Structures are given as C-alpha cells and as structure tokens.
Amino acid sequence: MSESLLWQITRTSNCNLRKQQGKVFFTKEKGNLTSMNSFKASGLANERTADISVGKDGNVVLSFKSNKAMLSKPAKMYKSITLNKGARRSLKIVDKVLSKTRPDLKKVALARASKLIKAQNKAKAASK
C-alpha cells in the first residue's frame, strides 16, 4: 500500500491520535519524533521511521525500521541502539543513523536526543 493512501486512511482516525479542542492534533505512535499528526512525522504512514525514547533501564534508546523485508515480522522490524556512551558520541550516532533513514527529520531528532540525554544527567548537589 502506498504511503499517501495509508496516510489518507489513518490521518483522522487511529488509536494513537490525541485530539484536543484546538486545531492541532497530537499522536503517540512509535516512530513519530515530533508527536504531531502530520504526514511528514507519521510513524504509521511512512516506510522509514525513527524514534528516540527513554528505555526501561533509564538510558536513551534510538530505534528505527531496519528494512522492507521485515514488514511481515513486526517484532523484528525495528532495530534499537542504546545511547549510553556520552553525549557527543550519542549525538554522532543519531546523526549517522538519521542521515540514512530520515534526513528530513535529522534536526528534530538531534534536538530530542540532546534533551533526553541532558535530562538523564544527574544534577550536582549544591554546596553549602
């Protein structure tokens, strides 16, 4: 099924859609970096997606669709990389992966990754 047809079907009704009183709709799907309900950011309609989130152990995790051959095996469709080697190295990994998968969302992904990495750092205790 083409991406544009899939978007036309899922844009107004899917289980991940979060409708509010304003005109902006948000979504909570895997593969949507901006959480906006748009074709560009959709994790459902686009063939290539990437997602940056916090894992169970508290580390930042980058997951992306590996290839088209795994569409029949949803459990193996996404590859995950744990970003726990320092901020600069982690952002370099995000840059490299997003250059191949979604170069149009690279800036958004780097901003999201840097915010999550910064949030993971523990604040130093104030000295008295």
Residue 74 pLDDT greater than 70, yes or no: yes
pLDDT band at 6 (very low <50, low <70, confident <90, very high): confident
Which helix (H) or strand (E) covers residue 95, if one does?
helix 87-101
C-alpha–C-alpha distance, residues 118 and 22, integer Å = 31
Q: Give the CB-side neighbour count of residue 121, counting CA atoms within 13 A.
A: 11
At residue 126, the pLDDT reads 67
Q: Could you check whether 1-46 and 48-121 share the same CATH topology?
A: yes
Task: Dump pLDDT digits (tens) for 18-33.
Answer: 877 777 788 888 888 8
Whether CATH 3.30.390.110 fits 1-46: yes
Return the number of other C-beta atoms located less than 10 Å from residue 56's C-beta.
Answer: 6
At residue 111, the pLDDT reads 93
97 CB-near residues (< 8 Å, 6+ apart): 50, 62, 64, 81
Task: Dump pLDDT digits (tens) for 77-127.
Answer: 888 889 888 889 999 999 999 998 889 989 999 999 999 988 887 766 666
CATH of domain 48-121: 3.30.390.110
Residue 53 pLDDT greater than 70, yes or no: yes
Per-domain residue ranges for the chain?
1-46, 48-121
Return the SS3 of 40: coil
Q: Which amino acid is at 44?
A: L
